[in-house]
């Protein structure tokens, strides 16, 4: 009986996997904050954009952010969790190894931190 109950809970929890999240899903155009790109390049990080990049396209699908156009290819976040800050603003956040990612749709900002330091900040992200 316990095995059947555990299996039932597992199946129910997996049903939600792969679903869309209409609150965040879509393609966004964002302004690259070049100061952080330059600092990341100086730190020797691989996740940098070509010099002269002004706008970046990101895609969000089921709370996974894909950042296109980096010199080493696309950056893909882990699946992010929805959080709420002390002011009631909702945002997505998550981390994998030494990299953390947060996306605040209301503010239009995406931040990628590597080793607890800002690596990339994208601003004015607007759904296309």
For the record, the structure tokens of 34 come out as 């070049």
Dump pLDDT digits (tens) for 36-69.
999 999 999 999 999 999 999 999 999 999 999 9
Cα separation values, 40 from 11, 79, 123, Å? 43, 23, 17
pTM over 0.95: no
Dump pLDDT digits (tens) for 4-22.
434 344 433 443 455 677 8
CB atoms within 10 A of CB 122: 26
Strand runs labelled E in the chain: 26-32, 55-61, 64-70, 73-76, 81-84, 90-96, 99-104, 109-114, 117-127
- The mean of the pLDDT values for the chain is 88
């Amino acid at each position: 009986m316990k095995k059947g109950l555990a299996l039932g809970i597992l199946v129910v929890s997996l049903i939600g996997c792969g679903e869309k999240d209409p609150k965040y899903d879509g393609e966004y155009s964002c302004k690259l904050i070049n100061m952080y790109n330059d600092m990341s390049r100086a730190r020797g990080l691989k996740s940098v954009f070509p010099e002269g990049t002004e706008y970046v396209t990101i895609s969000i699908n089921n709370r996974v952010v894909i950042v296109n156009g980096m010199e080493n290819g696309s950056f893909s976040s882990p699946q992010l969790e929805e959080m709420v800050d002390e002011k009631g603003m909702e945002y997505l956040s998550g981390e994998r190894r030494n990299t953390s990612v947060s996306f605040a749709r209301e503010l239009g900002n995406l931040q990628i931190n590597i080793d607890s330091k800002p690596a990339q900040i994208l601003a004015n992200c607007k759904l296309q």
